[in-house]
Chains A and B, each alone.
Chain A
Amino acid sequence: MSERAAEISPAEDEQDDDQITDSAAPDAATDTTSESETTLDPVTTGAESVVRALENAGVEYAFGVQGGAIMPVYDALYDSDIYHVTMAHEQGAAHAADAYGIVSGEPGVCLATSGPGATNLVTGIADADMDSDPLLALTGQVPTEFVGNDAFQETDTTGVTTPVTKENTFSSDSDRVGSDVSEAFALAREGRPGPTLVDLPKDITNGETDREPDAPNVPDTYEVQERADEEIVAAAAERIENSDRPALLLGGGVIKGEASEACREFAIEHEIPVITTMPGIGAFPEDHELSLEMAGMHGTGYANMAITHCDTLIGIGTRFDDRLTGGIETFAPDAELVHVDIDPAEISKNIYADYPLVGDAETVVEQLSEAVDESPEAKKWRAQCQQWKSDYSMAYDAPEDEPVQPEFVIEALDEATSDRAIVTTGVGQHQMWACQYWTYTEPRTWVSSHGLGAMGYGLPSAIGARIAADDDQEVVCVDGDGSFLMTLQGLSVAVREELDITVAVLNNEYIGMVRQWQDAFFDGRHSASDYGWMPEFDKLAEAFGACGFRIDDYDDVAETIDAAIAYDGPSVIDVHIDPDANVYPMVPSGGDNGQFALTEDQL
Chain B
Amino acid sequence: MSNGVFLLSLTGQIESAVFPDFDDIYCKYCFTYGSDWAITSGLEEGISQIGKCSRDDRQSFVWNFPLDVTFKSTNPFGWPQIVISVYGLDAFGNDVVRGYGLCHIPIAAGQYKKTLPMFVPESTTLLQKLTCWLTGRRPEYVEPRILGQGEGREVTRVRSQGWVKVCFNTITRDIQQLGYSTRSSSNSHSCLSL
Bind each other:
no
Residues of chain A at the chain B interface (Cβ within 8 Å): none
